[in-house]
Chains A and B, each alone.
Chain A
Amino acid sequence: MGEAEKVFISGLRENLIEDKVITEADLDPNFAAEIIRYGGKDVMTCLQCGNCTGVCPISLKIEYKTRTTIKYCQFGMKNYTLGTRWVCATCYRCFEHCPADLNPAEVMIALRHIAIREGIIPPFVKTAASNLLRYGLTVRPDAAMLKERQRLGLPTAPSTLPLWESVKKEIATIIEATKYDRLLGISAKEEGA
């Protein structure tokens, strides 16, 4: 398991060595409100029982603990928690096992929303968005697979039909309307063309 831990770049472990003092200047008092705005409505009502960490498959593997992350969010330690954003597998086990019926997974998802808006954008998010604009699918269609489809006697893949042009145009219009392309720093018009 050493490998995954090495790759994991949460920042928590390095930044929270025991004797380090966190001053008030490191805290963001509006952090919880921001999390609630992006859907993590349960962040402040967490009782810190730790059931979520106990059932989290990721917490078993690496230095990422659901309960601790929520505690940091309550304190307003924005700079420390944004690093944990993309390790939640959204399996919703924490939600199922929470005795107070809270949803920690949605807090993790809210952290991703905030991280993206702070400009911390993992490359695969951009790739997925531009794939969606270019091909109408997030997983890029593969020429070899299209040939395989013929061999299997499947109907032509919709993504190769003439009607797919208007599908892509509709997707580009939606993404432009929600300003998602600008959020990620790509252009719906250019990618779609």
Chain B
Amino acid sequence: MTFAYFFGCVIPSRYPGIEYAVRYVTGKEGLNLDVMDIPEFSCCPVPGIFYSTDRDTWLALAARNLCLAQREKAEIMTVCNGCFGSLLKATEYLAEPKRLGQANKILSKIGMKYTGIPEKVEGSSRKIFRPVSVRHFVDVVHTDQSMKLLAEKIKRPLGKLRVAVHYGCHYLRPTEWTAIDDPNDPVKVDDIVKAVGAESIDYEDKLACCGAGGGVRSHVVELANALTEDKFKNISNENADVIVTPCPFCLLQFDNAQKTFTKRGIPVIHVAQLMAIALGADISKLGFELHNISCNPLLAKIGVMTK
């Protein structure tokens, strides 16, 4: 199956290092997956803004992205929890004939139609339509085969590292749609952290929200930061070296909020960046200098300081 990269808005515009890391991890030096680019992908659109204010607009814009994946017969691979939640929810909505009809009526104005990907049934001339599948990067790389390959290809074992994993809400919830991991005891990111040789530490309230989602960061940034502060305290109590998250928006929140309440911030990186370090990627290309919280203590600990 071909996976189409879906980077969304935050990664290309704020943290291009994550994009490099994802391309590296899925590429030849990494897990060698069958991947492609669809440059026409727009914003997912953001659930905190569009899903919250007008469902028809949200659904039509999301269906447009799904139509592009349908055209290429590809699975969408999102690197952000927000895009994942938004697009996955859209596929569920489009399974309802009434919603599908409404969305297709709007899409007809731009010459698109969402049907799902046609598949031939063996021994019959009939075709069935399979909904476009929306996958999270973590879910895609967490297969037996890929995890084995990851363990084999490690060039920089990260043995000394104490990692605090932050999953982020829309990776786990609502479980009605997002059933890719155990919602009360998720393991996939921890497994990846263990596979690269690092230690995934347990801390209090691990599944709590970073505070940024649903428009809270845009509306009352102090409230979002207060939630992040709680999380930060729990993480720093365990002497973590780095926070690893599968969501660039949580990353953005941790990266920007920490300076408002502490002078000794903990570096925060995307899980793809962690994998890329372990797989031996060029450190200067992972964009760590673009993070507000300096990643130098982390790089020094691994022993890969470039300067």
CB of A177 within 8 A of CB of B54, answer: no
Interface segment out of the listed B26-34, B36-44, B117-125, B141-149: B36-44
Min distance, Cβ A136 to any Cβ of chain B, angstroms: 5
CB of A61 within 8 A of CB of B20, answer: no
CB of B10 within 8 A of CB of A173, answer: no
Interface segment out of the listed B127-135, B194-202, B204-212, B293-301: B204-212
Q: How many residues of B contact A (CB 8 A)?
A: 63
* Residues 168 to 182 of chain B near chain A (Cβ within 8 Å): 169-170, 173-176
What residue of chain B has the Cβ atom nearest to residue A96's Cβ? B173
CB of A90 within 8 A of CB of B169, answer: yes
B203: Cβ under 8 A from any A Cβ: no
CB of B42 within 8 A of CB of A58, answer: no
CB of A173 within 8 A of CB of B13, answer: no
B49: Cβ under 8 A from any A Cβ: yes
CB of B42 within 8 A of CB of A124, answer: no
Residue in A105, A109, A178 whose CB lies within 8 Å of B106:
A178
Residue in B14, B37, B209 whose CB lies within 8 Å of A145:
B14
CB of B39 within 8 A of CB of A163, answer: yes
A contact residues around B208 at 8 Å (CB): 57
Min distance, Cβ A15 to any Cβ of chain B, angstroms: 18
A174 to B162, CA, bound (A): 47
**A96-B175, A145-B13, A158-B39 as given contacts; A87 in contact with B109, CB under 8 Å:** no
Residue in A113, A122, A137, A152 whose CB lies within 8 Å of B287:
A152
A140 to B10, CA, bound (A): 9
Q: A87-B223, A109-B52, A137-B12 are in contact. List 17 more A-B contacts (CB 8 A).
A: A3-B222, A58-B227, A86-B216, A86-B220, A89-B214, A90-B213, A91-B213, A92-B169, A116-B53, A128-B218, A132-B43, A138-B45, A152-B17, A154-B16, A164-B39, A173-B109, A173-B110
Chain A residues at the B interface, C-beta cutoff of 8 Å? 1, 3-4, 7-8, 38-39, 57-58, 61-62, 86-93, 95-96, 103, 105, 109, 112-113, 116, 122, 124-125, 128-129, 132, 136-142, 145, 148-149, 152-155, 157-159, 161, 163-164, 167, 170-171, 173-175, 177-178, 180, 183-184
